Amino acid sequence: MDWNWSGIAGYGLFFLIYGGIYAISALGLNVQWGYTGLFNIGVGGFFLVGAYTSAIMTKGPDFSHLGGFGQPFLVGVLAGGVLAALLAFLIGIPTLRLRGDYLAIATIGIAETLRLVVTNEQWLTAGVWGIGGIPKPLLGTFGDAYNAFYAVLVLTAMVLVYFAIERGIRSPWGRVLKAIREDEAVAQAVGKDIFRFKLQALVLGAFFMGVAGALFAHFVGYISPEAFEPMNATFLVWVMLIVGGSGNSKGAMLGAFLVWVIWSGTEFVAAALPPTFGPRAHALRIVLIGLLLMIMLLVRPQGMLGEERQVSKLLRPAGGGRQAPADG
């Protein structure tokens, strides 16, 4: 059998780019859900805001939608993150003081409403036609090797996000987040303003989702409301986090790459089915991913990696072992 090596390398680069973009989203969700216990079922909404904001900020004049700002790539990506964070701030204020379910409902609501807005406000987003010709940074410099360059760019961003989150989580701030997740009343009793901490976690996670959305927009070059269906943009990220292990940043990244392989793998299976099966194959793919989630929740709810135990330095034995001594 003759292997198509360039095809395999091409798939490998797609794997790194999409896996990396989803990993950034999953890292954001891990801050919200994994560490703080906030249900955000509107990941797609924040992702959408990041994508559209960056596309509109960086494009030259285009009469089919708002535009003409012509800002550099980095400004666009950061603006995408900031706008997503702002949205999280606004949605957090009415919901974070209430029971967790309300945040879940509100985030689904905002994601669906945003999809209506980008579909219907043509002056802003060109509606169902979508925004094309989104600039690709340094396209001229890299030419044929462009995907390799973009993979490096996405992975760099992912590593930066990872270290930023790890640093925050290992600080006193991170310990408060986990305390809120475990027992709000206790965190409140020791004098923490839990509303503020929750809001910070929600906003920070949304910022990363916005950045991921922007990176997605600049890679594909064309975005339309269809790309932000709740399945692709929200549910997949949840499956990634739960499969990898929520409460563990490495797990979030592992889950992102692994589930992306499974997800894109099912596409090959769907392509092998007879064409009359066509549109139904897509439905079958989603059913399979849904079953993967259910089985994972039932069989191994902590995910593949599970949460890392963090033990105080003072309790750690001198040898540097991971376990705390039995007699303190």
Partner 1 sequence: MAQLILYGLIYGGIISLGAIGLTLIARILRFSHFAHGDMMALGAYLALLFRVTFGLPMWVSAVCSVALTAAAAVAIDRIFYKPLRRTSPAILLIASVGVALVLRHLIQLFWGAAPQVYQRGVERSLVFWGLRIRPVQVWILVMAVVIVVAVWLFLQKTKLGKAMRAMADNMDLAAVSGIDTERMVIWTWVLGAALAAAAGIMLGLDTQLRPAMGWLMLLPLFAAAILGGLGNPYGAIAGGMVIALAQELSTLVFNTAYKPAVSFVLMVLLLLLRPQGLFGGKA
128 binding partner 1? (CB under 8 A): no
Nearer to partner 1, 160 or 226 (CB): 226
Number of residues this chain uses to bind partner 1 (CB under 8 A)? 44
Binding residue for partner 1 (CB under 8 A) from 183, 297, 310, 325? 297
Cα-Cα-Cα-Cα torsion 29, 167, 35, 247, nearest 10 degrees, comes to 80
Residues within window 235-274 making contact with partner 1, judged by CB under 8 A? 235, 238, 242
User: Please, which residues have CB within 8 angstroms of residue 193's CB and are 6 or more apart in sequence?
Assistant: none
Nearer to partner 1, 185 or 298 (CB): 298
Binding residue for partner 1 (CB under 8 A) from 18, 39, 197, 260? 39
183 binding partner 1? (CB under 8 A): no
Quick note: the x/- pattern for partner 1 over 45-64, rule CB under 8 A, is --------------------
Stretch of 73-81, 89-97, 148-156, 189-197 lying at the interface with partner 1 (CB under 8 A): 89-97
Nearest-angstrom CA–CA distance, 212 and 77: 8
Nearer to partner 1, 150 or 197 (CB): 197
Nearer to partner 1, 28 or 135 (CB): 28
Please give the DSSP secondary-structure letter assigned to residue 304: T
Nearest-angstrom CA–CA distance, 201 and 207: 10
Angle between helices 146-169 and 249-272 (to 10 degrees): 140
Binding residue for partner 1 (CB under 8 A) from 8, 74, 105, 145? 105
Residue 319: CB minimum distance to partner 1, A: 35
147 binding partner 1? (CB under 8 A): no
Continuous segment of H or E residues that includes residue 17 = helix 5-29
For tokens 């002056």, the residue is 123
Nearest-angstrom CA–CA distance, 76 and 50: 9
301 binding partner 1? (CB under 8 A): yes
328 alpha-carbon distance from chain centroid: 40
Nearest-angstrom CA–CA distance, 114 and 98: 23
284 binding partner 1? (CB under 8 A): yes
Nearest-angstrom CA–CA distance, 190 and 188: 5
List the beta strands (DSSP E) in 156-285: none
Binding residue for partner 1 (CB under 8 A) from 8, 9, 74, 116? 116
Longest dimension (CA), the chain: 71
Nearest-angstrom CA–CA distance, 154 and 93: 32
313 binding partner 1? (CB under 8 A): no
Buried b (16+ CB within 10 A) or exposed e, 206-233: bbbbbbbbbbbbbbbeebbbebbebebb
User: Please, which residues have CB within 8 angstroms of residue 319's CB and are 6 or more apart in sequence?
Assistant: none
226 binding partner 1? (CB under 8 A): no
Nearer to partner 1, 133 or 229 (CB): 229
Nearer to partner 1, 60 or 301 (CB): 301
Residue 239: CB minimum distance to partner 1, A: 8
Binding residue for partner 1 (CB under 8 A) from 98, 128, 139, 273? 98
Gyration radius (Cα) of the chain, Å = 21
101 binding partner 1? (CB under 8 A): yes
124 binding partner 1? (CB under 8 A): no
Buried b (16+ CB within 10 A) or exposed e, 288-302: ebeebbeebeeeeee
Q: Under the rule (CB under 8 A), what is the footprint of partner 1?
A: 37, 39, 41, 91, 93-95, 97-102, 104-106, 108-110, 112-113, 116, 119-120, 230-231, 235, 238, 242, 279-280, 282-284, 286-287, 289-291, 293-294, 297-298, 301
